[in-house]
Amino acid sequence: MSLIFKRLNSCASRFRPVDASYGVLRHIHFPGITSFEDGQKFQQMVVGANLDFKQMETKIKRQLKDVPAGFRLNDYEDELIKRVLSMKPLPTLLTFEFNNVYTGGKKMKQDPQLQQKIDQYRSLGCEYHQLERGGQVTWHGNGQLTAYVVLDIKGFTDLTVRCFVDSVLIQSAQNVLKKHYNIDAYNDPENPGLYVQKDPYNGKIVSVGTHIQRAVTSYGIGLNVNNDLKYLNQFEMCGLPGVSATSIAKEIPSAKVTVKDVADQYAQQLALRLNIGQVDHIDGREIIEQSKESDSNQ
């Protein structure tokens, strides 16, 4: 109990952007069904931009430290460096409704029955994709919100990896479920995610998995909105035998809710958890069209 309390209590701090460049959350929603491959490509574009900027930022700061003692940059040089550093990519939330796929975390690579399981997934008409996130196997698809959060955790005060998972990714989803649908959901400290039952935990409604590279986050959550639960309940998900899945639609049959509704609600709660004052909502169709034009010109 003391270890669990320490874990939760250690994230009690209020996270704030370190500087003004992180004062806006960019929310890009891809309407309709997006192929899983396209979703990964768009996420990697955003992650790549963040990593490229960090490399440049580190180089600039290292060079500034090497400036000889007594030497001072002139006003033009100082202003130029400030402008370059202010071009840091914004914290970004990518939200999707994917085609039906099963995805495996790093632990799945060691599963001796992996190929047999992949064959079973394909028998349901689902693809299988191996990812570099944490965790084991889960499902994404029609009727589920998949939300990827890409940001530099060092861009916020007191934001550790553990706090990012528990107090940002999971807490934001928990707030959406309670505020908009009056669903009480509980995070299991031993198996992170949200469940509508506890003692024991069951009725999983949110799964979580993330990857951190040089403090830049990727992946995020899967929140069951109105999806067909057979894909989640036919196999063992996330390495949790005996745990079944549920959804907003199952818990609140009268709720007329769409994936986009929940995506917008999640964006607002994410911004609140990170103390970001502005959310810019962007239609992902524009990015898809630009990507297609770029591919056709190559």
Residues that are catalytic: 238
Contact, 7 vs 238, CB < 8 A?
no
**What H or E segment, with its residue span, contains residue 81?**
helix 75-85
| Phi-psi sector, 76: left (phi>0), alpha (psi -120 to 50), beta | alpha
Q: Say if residue 221 carries a ligand binding annotation.
A: yes
Q: Say if residue 83 carries a ligand binding annotation.
A: no
Contact, 203 vs 195, CB < 8 A?
yes
- Strands of 101-104's sheet, edge to edge? 127-130, 101-104, 137-140
Q: Say if residue 136 carries a ligand binding annotation.
A: yes
Q: Say if residue 277 carries a ligand binding annotation.
A: no
Q: Say if residue 140 carries a ligand binding annotation.
A: yes
Q: Which residues are registered as beta bridge partners of 218?
A: 211
Q: What are 121's two structure tokens? A: 């997934």
Tell me if residue 47 falls in helix, strand or coil.
Answer: helix
Query: How far, in Å, CA of 67 to CA of 23, rounded?
Result: 31
Q: What HEC string does 147-168 produce?
A: EEEECEHHHECCCCHHHHHHHH
Q: What are 57's two structure tokens? A: 């930022």
Contact, 170 vs 194, CB < 8 A?
yes
| Phi-psi sector, 44: left (phi>0), alpha (psi -120 to 50), beta | alpha
Q: Say if residue 203 carries a ligand binding annotation.
A: no
Residue 27: burial class (beta carbons within 10 Å; 0-12, 13-18, 19+): buried
Q: Say if residue 207 carries a ligand binding annotation.
A: yes
Q: Say if residue 208 carries a ligand binding annotation.
A: yes
Q: Say if residue 122 carries a ligand binding annotation.
A: no
Among residues 3, 9, 2, the alpha carbon closest in space to that of 166 is found at 9
Q: Say if residue 139 carries a ligand binding annotation.
A: yes
Q: Say if residue 84 carries a ligand binding annotation.
A: no
Q: Say if residue 242 carries a ligand binding annotation.
A: no
Residue numbers in the known binding site for substrate are 133-140, 207-209, 220-222
Question: Binding site residues, as ranges?
Answer: 133-140, 207-209, 220-222
